[in-house]
Structure 1
Amino acid sequence: MSVTLNEAISKLEAENIRLTSQRIAILEYLSAHHIHPTAEEIYHGIKENFPGISVATVYNNLRLFTDLGFLKEMKYGDASSRFDFSTKPHYHVICERCGKITDFYYPGLEDVEMAAGKITNHEIHSHRLEVYGICEQCQKEQKEGVQ
């Protein structure tokens, strides 16, 4: 399910969750920036307009949005979690140089889940696909000799 800002606000209202200006700012940031930001990036992106906001407030709201199902937390090892405002099934291409994450849509790989379950006798619940390479901007910088 792909979520819009208005749908997220409607979900908060339906759950009787107060629409604070900070919550709205976080949602607006997520809606405007399709970079799969970390909590820190969101914090730095909105703190100018909300000098009293803390990173903890950002984290708490991101957790709330994740629990309500319209935000997806992406965990990669020990690195900071990134947050994806699109919960519609999709995959990611990750730049090995700058870390940029780009969404791409491809038919579901449910047959892979089924095969993995049969081969391993696991009950499979989900999967994720990550493809790694060098993004267009980094390729350009490499050609120009920028480090």
Structure 2
Amino acid sequence: MSYLVEQSIERLKYNNIRITPQRHAILEFLIEHDSHPTADEIYKALEDRFPSMSVATVYNNLRLFIQLGLVKEMMFGDNSSRFDFSSTEHYHAICSNCGKIEDIYYPGLDDVEIVASNLTGFEVSSHRLEIYGLCPDCQPETQNQN
């Protein structure tokens, strides 16, 4: 079991939340697969291991993980919610052709909320940065079309 899984399980225990095999599997999947899956993709990946688990179970556990700050819900242009294990603050590069999402860690933006607050007077609660373009796989496709 990875350190992040162990740390997350401890956080659940600390909050008096029972560690079910399904919860453990959903957390583990999110940590090990940085593909920013939808709830349906998580369900499909785990349904062989948990035939009695429903999509609703996945959604309910994701909502719980969001409340505890373990997972972030991301909504993009296609109106589908994607879920991301949030161990460190990071941003996303999104392919406008295939929808692939890559994480970007850029510590230089750590103080962006403070700067925004100082410049605007806003009481900033959070921020999100998304970069759109073509991933390396899609670049040759669009070059061939020209």
- TM-score using structure 2 length: 0.84
Supply the distance in 1 between the matched residues of 2:110 and 2:21 (Cα, whole angstroms): 40
- Residue 10 of structure 1 deviates from its aligned partner by 1.2
**1:94 maps onto 2:94 in alignment:** yes
Deviations 1:66-124 (A, max 9, x none): 11111111123561211111341111100001111111111343665455445544322
Question: Does the residue aligned with 1:60 lie in a helix, a strand or coil?
Answer: helix
- TM-score using structure 1 length: 0.83
Question: Does the residue aligned with 1:123 lie in a helix, a strand or coil?
Answer: coil
- Residue 125 of structure 1 deviates from its aligned partner by 2.2
Q: What's the counterpart of residue 131 of structure 1?
A: 131
Amino acid corresponding to residue 125 of structure 1 in structure 2: S
Following TM superposition, the consecutive aligned residue runs of length 4 or more in structure 1 with deviations greater than 3 angstroms are 108-121, 140-145
Distance 1:21 1:133, change over 3 A: same
Q: What's the counterpart of residue 45 of structure 1?
A: 45
Structure 2 unaligned regions, length at least 5: none
Q: What's the counterpart of residue 23 of structure 1?
A: 23
Question: Does the residue aligned with 1:103 lie in a helix, a strand or coil?
Answer: strand
Identity percentage of aligned residues: 57
Supply the distance in 1 between the matched residues of 2:61 and 2:136 (Cα, whole angstroms): 33
The answer to whether the 8 Å contact 1:95/1:132 transfers is yes
- Residue 64 of structure 1 deviates from its aligned partner by 0.7
Q: What's the counterpart of residue 105 of structure 1?
A: 105
List aligned pairs for 1:73-92, cutoff 5 A: 73-76=73-76, 79-92=79-92
Distance 1:12 1:117, change over 3 A: closer
Supply the distance in 1 between the matched residues of 2:76 and 2:37 (Cα, whole angstroms): 13
How many residue pairs align between the two structures? 143
Amino acid corresponding to residue 24 of structure 1 in structure 2: H
Supply the distance in 2 between the matched residues of 1:72 and 1:144 (Cα, whole angstroms): 37
Amino acid corresponding to residue 40 of structure 2 in structure 1: E
RMSD: 2.2
